[in-house]
């Protein structure tokens, strides 16, 4: 893209956002549009294929992944409101398609994949103006956003632009929340211990909202908070940013 800002992008909703956090998807699209980018949302989106890939069912994962890659033929950035799914498409698709006849095509697709906050900061360099009431939030970094995609504080930078938002960091910001896809149901006790510790950490910050960039983490942390009837809420960062900055 040679430093110039793209005029048009694709948006990939991801299955969890599609089904559980559609507001986050809508907000992500709005944030992109407001930055002057036209957003294309191809029909036929299902899932990136990560669950099957992680469980070793690679043929099944490839079958699904192929149908998804085919939805994005133009040489445009593909934006995902999820670190984990973006990591799958950007980092693990090339592994999954290694030695396959369509390897080159998939690699070209993977090179165009971005996580939303990464794209907003690193490519679009957006400036946000906070219109919301003072609030204290905490940030849960998604393991795959940090370790697969190499996010370097982009979400925190966006939160930092909001004048009325205080960011109270978790004690163990980079520790997994325990979701891990099928891990949460295959090893419920370990996963449960991890998320229990995570919500204790979040509660101790005194924040009223836990923000994250991943549907899996949000669903996990939210479920654990609700089970404890906590007042603490979770929200996808896109939704939070959009709500606080949109003109009313």
Query: Hey, what are 134's tokens?
Result: 């003072």
Which of residues 162 and 179 has its CB atom nearest to another protein in the complex?
179
> Does 240 help bind another protein (rule: CB under 8 A)?
no
Question: At which residue do the structure tokens 């089970």 appear?
Answer: 227
Q: Residue 212 phi/psi, 5° resolution?
A: -155, 170
Cα separation, 158 vs 125, whole angstroms: 10
DSSP 8: E
Kindly tell me which of 169 and 188 has the beta carbon lying closer to another protein. Answer: 188
Q: Can you say whether the dihedral through the CA atoms of 153, 125, 239, 185 is positive or negative?
A: negative
Q: Is 188 exposed, middle or buried (0-12, 13-18, 19+ CB in 10 A)?
A: exposed
143 binds another protein (CB under 8 A): yes
Stretch that binds another protein, among 25-33, 114-122, 129-137, 233-241 (CB under 8 A): 25-33
**Interacting residues with another protein between 166 and 195 (CB under 8 A):** 174-176, 178-195
Q: Which stretch binds another protein (CB under 8 A): 40-48, 119-127, 161-169, 231-239?
A: 40-48
The whole-angstrom distance between residue 146's C-alpha and the CA centroid of its chain comes to 11
Give residues 196-235 in contact with another protein (rule: CB under 8 A): 196-197, 219-220, 222-224, 226-227
The nearer residue to another protein, 57 or 204, going by C-beta atoms, is 57
Per CB under 8 A, which region of 106-114, 143-151, 154-162, 233-241 contacts another protein?
Answer: 143-151
Tally Cβ neighbours within 10 Å of residue 20: 16
Options 12-20, 100-108, 124-132, 159-167: segment touching another protein (CB under 8 A):
12-20
**Which residue of 39, 131, 135, 168 would you call a contact of another protein, by CB under 8 A?**
39
Instruction: List the interface residues with another protein, window 101-140 (CB under 8 A).
Output: none
Given a contact cutoff of 8 angstroms between Cβ atoms, the answer to whether 231 and 194 are in contact is: no
93 binds another protein (CB under 8 A): no
- Nearest residue (CB) to another protein, 43 versus 125: 43
158 token code pair: 């966006």
* Strand pairing category for 78-80 and 113-115: parallel
Asked whether the beta carbons of 212 and 142 are under 8 A apart, the reply is yes
Among 1, 36, 63, 108, binds another protein (CB under 8 A): 63
* Minimum CB distance to another protein, residue 174 (Å): 7
């Amino acid at each position: 893209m040679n430093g110039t800002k793209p005029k048009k992008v694709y948006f990939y909703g991801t299955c969890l956002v599609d089904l559980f956090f559609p507001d986050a998807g809508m907000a992500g699209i709005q944030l992109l549009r407001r930055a002057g980018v036209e957003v294309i949302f191809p029909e036929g989106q299902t899932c990136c294929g990560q669950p099957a890939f992680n469980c070793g069912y690679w043929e099944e994962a490839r079958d699904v992944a192929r149908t998804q890659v085919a939805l994005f033929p133009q040489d445009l950035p593909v934006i995902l409101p999820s670190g984990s799914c973006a990591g799958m498409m950007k980092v693990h698709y090339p592994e999954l398609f290694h030695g396959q006849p369509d390897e080159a095509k998939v690699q070209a697709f993977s090179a165009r994949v971005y996580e939303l906050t990464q794209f907003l900061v690193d490519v679009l360099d957006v400036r946000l103006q906070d219109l919301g009431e003072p609030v204290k939030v905490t940030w849960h970094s998604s393991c795959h956003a940090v370790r697969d995609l190499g996010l370097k504080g982009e979400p925190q930078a966006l939160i930092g632009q909001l004048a009325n938002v205080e960011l109270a960091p978790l004690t163990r910001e980079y520790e997994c929340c325990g979701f891990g896809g099928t891990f949460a149901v295959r090893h419920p006790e370990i996963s449960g211990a991890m998320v229990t510790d995570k919500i204790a950490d979040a509660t101790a910050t005194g924040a009223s909202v836990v923000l994250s960039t991943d549907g899996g983490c949000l669903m996990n942390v939210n479920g654990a908070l609700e089970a404890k009837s906590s007042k603490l809420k979770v929200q996808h960062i896109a939704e939070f940013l959009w709500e606080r900055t949109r003109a009313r």
